[in-house]
């Protein structure tokens, strides 16, 4: 058992190193992922912020959680793209011919997504600080926020893996992320759900992004997150488990 674990983690380390080198050689992908959410944040804070009744004097504090989720939703499309390219170039078959644990290639892409999206999130938070974001959260609350964002990234990344394995074209591999990027706009990320028409409000209050946004917002403001944090964790874990199962089935078919 110990030998198998060493074999798996050793192989995954090699695959992760390969995937991370691709990211480090093309840092423009991380910058591109961060630019659009930053532009949205500036637009809403300086153009629309004065007209939006969010119930807070500091709109960037209200806005930031949704912006972070949009950044992650945008970033995971690169995972699907890179995995699709590996398939098209025969990289998967080449690695399968070697004595390595086959699932390590997928895990390498997933962990690379986690690292690259974490860098984008840090960049966005630094920009938010320069335009007035302030938080009274303690270390434990910040760690909780990091954990929720990591789970959210993992859940969406496994959806990206499924898309990358199932797509028929490069455009198809990344197009799946568009509806996910759009979800924060129909949530409490930008405005309170109370201001929405009944049908839209019902959807907004019962989709995963709202509970995740509310949990992060409460944690960053130093308030108890209440049930929102448990609902957010349930959504993230549930999506991740389902996406992982279907992604592994798609991978086994391909293998």
pLDDT tens for each residue of 204-245:
999 999 999 999 999 998 888 788 899 999 999 999 999 999
33-47, 57-71, 95-109, 221-235 — which is least confidently predicted?
95-109
Query: 128, 120, 151, 156: which is closest to 23 by C-alpha?
Result: 120
Let me know how long the chain is.
255
* Predicted model pTM: 0.86
Confidence of residue 3 (pLDDT cuts 50, 70, 90): very low
Measured distance CA(59)–CA(49) in Å, rounded: 6
Measured distance CA(233)–CA(81) in Å, rounded: 27
Asked if 87 and 165 count as a contact pair (C-beta separation under 8 A), the reply is yes
Measured distance CA(62)–CA(54) in Å, rounded: 7
Give the percent of the chain with pLDDT over 70. Answer: 79
Whole-Å CA distances, 98 to 11, 15, 92, 93, 121: 11, 12, 10, 9, 36
| More confident call, 187 vs 168 | 187
- In sequence order, what are the residues at sequence separation of 6 or more whose Cβ sits closer than 8 angstroms to the Cβ of residue 239? 155, 156, 158, 159, 208
| 139-140-142-147 Cα dihedral, nearest 10 degrees | 140
| More confident call, 101 vs 176 | 176
- In sequence order, what are the residues at sequence separation of 6 or more whose Cβ sits closer than 8 angstroms to the Cβ of residue 237? 151, 155
Measured distance CA(236)–CA(152) in Å, rounded: 5
Residue with tokens 């930053």: 38
Mean pLDDT of 183-199: 89
Mean pLDDT score of the chain, rounded to an integer? 82
Give the per-residue pLDDT at 75: 86
**What would you measure as the largest C-alpha separation in the chain, in angstroms?**
61
Measured distance CA(202)–CA(186) in Å, rounded: 10
Mapping DSSP onto H, E and C, the string for 92-156 reads: HHHHHCCCCCCCHHHHHHHHHHHHHHHHHHHHHHHHHHHCCCCCCCCHHHHHHHHHHHHHHHHHH
Confidence of residue 109 (pLDDT cuts 50, 70, 90): confident
Describe the chain by its helix, strand, coil percentages, rounded to 5. 80, 0, 20
Give the per-residue pLDDT at 68: 95
């Amino acid at each position: 058992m110990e030998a198998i674990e060493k074999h798996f983690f050793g192989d995954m380390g090699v695959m992760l190193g390969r995937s991370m080198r691709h990211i480090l050689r093309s840092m423009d992908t991380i910058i591109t992922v961060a630019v659009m959410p930053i532009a949205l944040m500036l637009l809403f804070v300086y153009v629309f912020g004065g007209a939006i009744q969010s119930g807070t004097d500091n709109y960037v504090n209200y806005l930031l959680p949704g912006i972070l989720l949009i950044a992650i939703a945008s970033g995971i499309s690169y995972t699907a793209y890179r995995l699709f390219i590996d398939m098209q170039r025969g990289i998967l078959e080449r690695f399968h011919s070697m004595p390595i644990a086959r699932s390590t290639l997928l895990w390498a892409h997933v962990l690379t997504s986690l690292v690259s999206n974490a860098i984008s999130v840090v960049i966005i938070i630094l920009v938010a600080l320069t335009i007035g974001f302030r938080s009274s959260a303690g270390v434990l609350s910040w760690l909780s926020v990091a954990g929720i964002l990591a789970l959210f990234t993992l859940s969406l990344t496994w959806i990206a893996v499924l898309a990358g394995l199932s797509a028929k074209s490069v455009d198809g591999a990344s197009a799946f992320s568009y509806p996910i990027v759009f979800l924060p706009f129909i949530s409490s990320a930008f405005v309170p759900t109370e201001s929405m028409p009944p049908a839209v409000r019902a959807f907004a209050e019962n989709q995963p992004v709202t509970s995740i946004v509310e949990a992060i917002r409460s944690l960053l403001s130093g308030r108890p997150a209440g049930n929102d944090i448990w609902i957010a964790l349930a959504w993230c874990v549930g999506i991740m488990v389902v996406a992982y199962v279907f992604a592994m089935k798609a991978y086994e078919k391909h293998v």
